[in-house]
Chain A
Amino acid sequence: MKVEEVPQDLKYFEGTVVRDVDYAVDADGNYQMVVSDGWAPKNEALEVTLADIDEQCQEIFQRVKAGESSLLEYYAAKNLMDVELLSDYTGFSKRTIRKHFQSSNFAKLDDKTLEIYADVLRITVAELTTIPET
């Protein structure tokens, strides 16, 4: 890769201090370090992955609205956490968490449990318990 070919496709890095660093060859054939704003193929890979996650979340959200699942399952998916990871972070067993994924059981949870979940999922207890409009 030549220095002038180093991609500068700014997308997800915008507004943050994070950047890529590439090594590329200058006109004399010497390697240089070049700071890069990102590369489109890479951004697109991320986009495809995020779109897929979003689709899964929407599907769960429909179930939440129908009263079949709890918001906990939705926010877990949104935080890219499967039952196992959520269990690791909260200390609850996988079985317990699956139980809490059902809306009827979730409605009975006490504040302490909700706080633990909210903390791990980086939201407030109010957000965890009130179903948003969209």
Chain B
Amino acid sequence: MELDLSHRVAAHCENGAISALLRYYGINLSEPMIFGLASGLFFVHLPFVKLAGMPVTSFRTFPGVLFKRITKLLGIKATTRRYLNKEHAMRDLDRLLLEKQTPVGCVVGMYYLPYMPKEYRFHFNGHNICVIGKDEQTDTYTVLDSNATQKVTLSRRDLLKVRFAKGGTYPLLGQMYWIKSVPKQLPDLNPLILKSIHKVCWYMISQPDFIPYVGVNGIAYLSRSIRGWENKMGKRRASLNLAQLIRMLEEIGTGGAGFRFVYGAFLQEAAVRTGVAELNDFSKRITAIGDLWREFAFKASRIYKKREGESYTYDDLGDLLQTISEQEKAFFQDLDRTVKEYMK
């Protein structure tokens, strides 16, 4: 049994899973639109929360949050469940798939996913896949993973393992989500777009100065602390920390630069839909900021992997991050001001 649902790649796994679920119910939204409507852009740097012994930096909200936000926004009835009992979790999945013909999104751990390159298998529990079918004879599941270029299959044993991945950032407990019913008429998107832009601005710049880890403040905080990494931890440890930061920036569900570009694409689409031409200028601005993030990743890579005749320092990175934080702050302040005018 396999539900009639085509595969599509996406920059971010959760966008991809949501897009698949929505598509099944005839709602065709582009990936940037989903990301933008769910106000997915974020920044948080937590020096005291450790992943593999190094600070956690995230450029997006927690796994599962995007789905909750977008279904609420569009008036879609949906459920998210976690389980204590493994068999119960699989039984519920089977029931939804086979009896109710419902595609189901699952939050899984990367580590035991067999189709991932083996170098990518880290204990990171925030990957999203969409289960769309089951072969009863072989006990394998058909899965849409937006990071893969085609449909993939998972054996029941593997699926059980990844759904109940342990440790990492947080234990998974077989977390899964699905859509129960969609409204006959979707609400008008234009006011929702403006609302969600306003919300993203709020997430990024509303924090008072004494909360230094979240939003634009977080980037400034990282820019201050990165300058001292080499003195504080020694050369080797500092470069490992940097490598981890770049991996979070670029690899784990894309990241900093990638998400800035996705948001740029969203703003462009939003400009066409809402007719607010200024959003096009903002799209260009966030694209430029995304390019800065890429420059940051590039320079950082030259620190942990030195080339002849180049000598980038941690201070260079600090300067770059400071520029980024200033630009993002100005960007979200201006964006918020513009959007508010149209929201009246």
Contact = CB atoms under 8 A, between A and B. Distances in A.
Interface of A: 1, 12-25, 29-31, 33, 35, 39-42, 44-50, 52, 80-81, 84-85, 88-89
B11 A33 contact: yes
Interface of B: 9-11, 31-32, 52, 111, 115-117, 119-120, 122-123, 145-150, 152, 166-168, 171, 239-240, 242-244, 246-247, 250-251, 254, 257-258, 261-262, 264-265, 268-269, 283-284, 287, 290-291, 294, 297-298, 300-301, 304-305
B116 A16 contact: yes
B254 A20 contact: yes
A3 B298 CA distance: 18
Contacts of A42: 246-247, 250-251, 297, 301
Contact of A19 (B149, B246, B258): B149
A1 B152 contact: no
B261 A80 contact: no
Residue from B239, B242, B251 with most neighbouring chain A CB atoms (10 Å): B251
Nearest to A88: B166
Contacts of B120: 12, 18, 46
A80 B263 CA distance: 34
A1 B243 contact: no
B261 A22 contact: yes
At the interface, is chain A mostly helix, strand, loop or mixed? mixed
Contacts of B10: 21
Contacts of B283: 31
Contacts of B147: 18-21
Given A16-B115, A21-B10, A45 B291 contact: no
Contact of B290 (A1, A16, A39): A1
Given A23-B261, A46-B247, 5 more contacts: A12-B117, A31-B261, A33-B9, A42-B297, A48-B243
B151 to A, nearest CB: 9
A40 B304 CA distance: 12
21 contacts: A17-B149, A17-B150, A17-B152, A18-B115, A18-B116, A18-B117, A18-B120, A19-B9, A21-B146, A21-B254, A23-B11, A41-B246, A42-B247, A45-B242, A45-B247, A47-B305, A49-B243, A52-B240, A80-B111, A84-B167, A85-B123
A108 to B, nearest CB: 26
Contact of A18 (B122, B148, B240): B148
Nearest to A81: B123
Contacts of A20: 11, 147, 254
Contacts of A1: 257, 261, 287, 290-291, 294
B11, B32, B52, most chain A CB atoms within 10 A: B11
Nearest to A24: B261
A88 B165 CA distance: 9
A31 B117 contact: no
A24 B294 CA distance: 12
Contact of A23 (B32, B150, B239): B32
B115 A45 contact: no
Contacts of B244: 45, 49
Nearest to A122: B112
B283 to A, nearest CB: 8
Given A17-B148, A80-B123, A39 B250 contact: yes
B301 A44 contact: yes
A49 B247 contact: yes
